[in-house]
């Protein structure tokens, strides 16, 4: 279990390094992707789509608004709800965030190739070890 925890932490740390030059972090990239794919989604819908608590979603959306990447519009049919869209800057950031995530996925997939299509316990531990080496 320790190796899984270590591998997870390192994978997140590597992702943070990929995202840092873009000015976003691993808590924010999901919202850039989701708002690109589903413009006009509400904060409530985002909370249901993600596993984070609503206060965390609200905080990250507020940060993205402050960064000029997201704009909130009061919903026409319900003034209590806000629809979210990416700004021009947010849309311009999207392909860069996507490229960083694609690079992360490729790196993690290379670690999985250590198992050669098998997934016995030893192979899984080998994968976790290779992921943990990404931070080296």
Condensed to tens digits (0 to 9), the pLDDT of residues 31-68 reads 999 999 999 999 888 888 766 788 888 899 999 999 99
pLDDT of residue 29: 94
C-alpha span between 87 and 72 (Å, rounded): 10
H helical segments located in 20-87: 29-37, 43-49, 54-66
Between CA 13 and CA 135 the distance in angstroms is: 8
pLDDT of residue 85: 96
Whether the per-residue pLDDT at 102 is higher than 90: the answer is yes
pLDDT value at 82 more than 70:
yes
The whole-number pLDDT of residue 70 equals 98
Q: Where are the alpha helices (DSSP H) in the chain?
A: 2-19, 29-37, 43-49, 54-66, 88-112, 121-132
Residue indicated by tokens 């990447």: 69
Q: How confident is the model at residue 79 (pLDDT cuts 50, 70, 90)?
A: confident
Q: Picking from 44-53, 59-68, 83-92, 118-127, which range would have the lowest pLDDT averaged per residue?
A: 118-127
> Is the pLDDT reported for residue 110 higher than 90?
no
Higher pLDDT among residues 130 and 115, named by residue: 130
Residue 17, CA distances (Å) to 58, 72, 84, 88, 135 in order: 24, 28, 27, 24, 10
pLDDT for res 129: 77
| 92 vs 56: which has the higher pLDDT | 92
């Amino acid at each position: 279990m320790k190796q899984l925890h270590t591998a997870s932490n390192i994978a997140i740390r590597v992702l943070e390094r990929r995202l840092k030059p873009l000015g976003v972090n691993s808590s924010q990239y999901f919202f850039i992707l989701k708002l690109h794919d589903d413009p006009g989604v509400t904060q409530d819908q985002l909370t249901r789509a993600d596993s984070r608590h609503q206060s965390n979603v609200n905080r990250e959306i507020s940060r993205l608004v402050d960064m000029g990447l997201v704009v909130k519009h009061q919903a026409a049919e319900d003034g209590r709800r806000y629809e979210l869209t990416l700004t021009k800057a947010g849309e311009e950031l999207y392909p860069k965030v996507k490229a960083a995530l694609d690079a992360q996925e490729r790196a993690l997939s290379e670690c999985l190739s250590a198992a050669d299509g098998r997934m016995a316990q030893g192979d899984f531990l080998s994968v976790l070890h290779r992921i943990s080496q990404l931070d080296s």
